[in-house]
Amino acid sequence: MLDKLELTKNAQFYKLKNGPLQSSINDSIIREILDTSSANIDPEQSYILDDFRKEKNLINNNIKYQYSIRIFPTIRPVYFIQNELTKNALKDRIYAFIIIFEFDRYIGIIKKSCSNISEILEKNFELISSTAIAETFNDSDVSFQRISLRNMTVSDKAIRQRSYEAPDLKGTFSTHAAGRSIPLFLKFRQGSTVKTISGTGRLVESSNRINFDNAALWIYNQLTLIKNGGGKKDFLDTFAKQKKLHEVLKQTKPNAILIESSSLYDQLIEDGIKIKYTNRKGIDAELKSKELDRLICHLERIYSIDSEGDILTKFGRAYIRINSKTLTFDSSFLRELKVNISGRDVTLQSYIIKNGFYSITFDDPRYMYFIGNCFQDDSGISEINSILDMLIPVKNMNSITSEKGNFRKNSVRFSKKSIFELVENRHKRDDYIFCDDLGNEWADHITFNKRDSCINFIHSKYSSGSARNSASNSASKLHDVIGQAIKNLGYMYFSKTDFIKKFNKKFRKKYTPPKSTTQINRLRKGYYQPIDLYLTDLLGDFKLHRKCIISCNFISKNKITNEFAKIQNGESVKGQISQVLWILSSFSHAVKEAGAIPIIYCSD
C-alpha cells in the first residue's frame, strides 16, 4: 500500500519537549496522536492502512527512521440542506490520513482531514515555529515573492492584515512600521524551488507529488536544515520578533487584557451564531439584542491584571492562565455563556480563545500577546517622542461639557462648550467646513483650506468628567474613536466626482439628529456655487496634504507625557497606559501609511 501513495511536500515539524516525563518518543505518545487524529473515522468502517512505528531506511542512505500511518474513511454532515427530516441523513464521505515520521527526538507530520491533534501534540512536543523554519536560509539567497503581515494593533477597526507581492520584495518593500508587523505568510523562491511558510509553522514546497520514500527523505532534509539554522535575515529582521512566552514572563508581567469585542461581534453575525445561557429553569435561552448589546459593551472595556494574575472585573472571578507556551484566561462569567459550533455547544470563553479575539499587554510595553504568540516591538518606545508630537492641546478643551450639545428646532449652531463647536472655532479660518456626522459619514467634520493646501478629516469624541478620570475608560474611548478614524482613512483620497455627489445629497441639507430637527446647515462655512472649481484647484495642487485629526477631551498631554516618561525610564505603569501607547502608536502608523498626517486635539 505504501508504494501507491502520492504525497505533497506539506508538513509541520515538532521536537519532543525536554522534561522528566519523557526522555524519548515512545509508543504511548504516538498511539495517543494516532487515536486522536482518527477520532472522526466512520464508526461503521475500519482502517484502510494502519502501520504503527515501523522501521525503515532512507533512500540510498543508512539512516533509520520510524513511521506510523493511518488511512481511514470519515464522514461529514451536509449543512446546505435544512430539512429536518433529511439533513442528518445526508453525509459526505471523504478519506483522511496521517503520517508521522520519527527522527530521534523530532517528528514531521503530513496529514489531511483528520481530527484536531493540536492539544495532544502541545502536551508532548514543541512546534517548530515559522521563525525557526525561516532560519534555514539566508535572505540573500532567496527572492521573497509574497508576504502577508499582521499589524500589531489593539484597534479592531484598523487594517489588521496586508499582503504584498512582487518578483522580489527585497529593496521594493517599504519597511516603514515593519517593526509593528508580524509575518504570517511567506512565499519565496530558492533557486528553482518555490516554498511557503505559514504562521502556524507549516512548510509547503511546490513540486509534483512524490512517493512515500521521497517524502521521508524530504522530511529528514528539512529537519537537518532546521537543526543547523543560522541563516542571516537582513530583510526579515526588520519585522516584529516572535518571542517565547517564558522568556517574556521572566522580564515582565501581564498588566491588562482587551477582548476584541467588535471582531467577536462581527464573527458571530457573519457565522449566524447565537449566544445562549441556561436560565433558572435549566432551559437554554438566546440573548436578546439588548442583552447582546450590553454584553458587547461590557467586553469592550480594558481590564487590568493585578500582580497575582487576577483580572479586575465586577462580573464573576477572572484570571490569567499561564500555560507552557500560551496565555489564556478563565472567566466564570464567560463560561456561563455558550455558542453552538458545528452542532456542538462550547463556552463563549472557549470561542474567544480559539479565535484569538483578545490581546494582553505587559508592564513592559515592548511586548504584546495576541493570536497565540508573544511579539516584541522595539519601535514602540523609541517612537514615544513622535507620538507625543501628535498631541496638540487646544484652548478651552478642559471646559467641554458635551459632544454636540442640546438641540432646539431653531438651533443654527452647535451648543457652546461642545466639541463640535470647539472644532468649528478651531478651523474658522478654513475655506470650507462640512458637518458629515450621522448617516454614511467619512468623518464628523471635513474642512478644506486652499491657502494651506490641506484637507482635514476630524473625528470627535466626548467623555464626562467621571469617565475622563478613568484611564481604563479613556483607553476604551480612544480605541473607539481611533478605530473609526482608521476605518475611514480610504475616504480621504476621494475623487471630485465622489465629493460633489456627497455634497449634493448631504451637505446641502440641514443637520437632523435622532428624534429632532434643527436649522443647522451641514455646510458650516463656505459657498455652494464655486465648489466644483474650488475642488479642481485644491485637488490639483501639488502641495496638497491631508490630516486625520482626533478631537477628544479625555486625553491630557501633560498626563500622557508624564506616564510615557516612566516607560522611557523603564518604570512600570498601569495596564491602561500601555494600551494607550499601543492605540496611539497604531493610529500614528496607520495614518502615516495612508500618506496623511496624524493629529490629536486634547486638553493640556
For 275-310, give the secondary structure using H, E and C.
Answer: EEEECCCCCEEECCHHHHHHHHHHHCCEEEECCCCE
CA angle 183, 129, 157 (to 5 degrees): 35
- The pLDDT value recorded for residue 234 is 80
- The pLDDT value recorded for residue 466 is 46
Contact 128/16 with Cβ under 8 angstroms? no
- The pLDDT value recorded for residue 21 is 57
Amino acid, res. 374: C
- The pLDDT value recorded for residue 23 is 75
- The pLDDT value recorded for residue 87 is 46
What does each C-alpha distance from 227 to 23, 103, 106, 223, 230 come to in angstroms? Answer: 19, 12, 10, 6, 9
- The pLDDT value recorded for residue 154 is 55
Residue ranges with strand state E in 152-234: 161-165, 181-190, 193-198, 202-210
Contact 234/138 with Cβ under 8 angstroms? no
Put residue 465 in one of left, alpha, beta given phi > 0 → left and psi -120 to 50 → alpha. alpha
pTM score, two decimals?
A: 0.63
Contact 275/292 with Cβ under 8 angstroms? yes
Q: In what side-by-side order are the strands of the sheet with 597-603?
A: 391-393, 597-603, 545-556, 454-461, 445-449, 432-435, 523-525
CA angle 257, 260, 266 (to 5 degrees): 165
Residue ranges with strand state E in 211-253: 241-243
Contact 459/596 with Cβ under 8 angstroms? no
Rounded average pLDDT per 10-residue block, the chain, 604 residues = 93 86 85 93 93 92 93 81 58 92 96 88 88 90 91 59 86 71 89 91 94 96 91 82 88 86 80 86 87 85 87 90 88 92 81 86 81 74 82 93 90 93 95 93 96 96 66 71 89 94 93 89 90 92 93 92 87 80 84 89 92
- The pLDDT value recorded for residue 79 is 61
- The pLDDT value recorded for residue 424 is 96
- The pLDDT value recorded for residue 89 is 64
Put residue 214 in one of left, alpha, beta given phi > 0 → left and psi -120 to 50 → alpha. alpha
- The pLDDT value recorded for residue 160 is 66
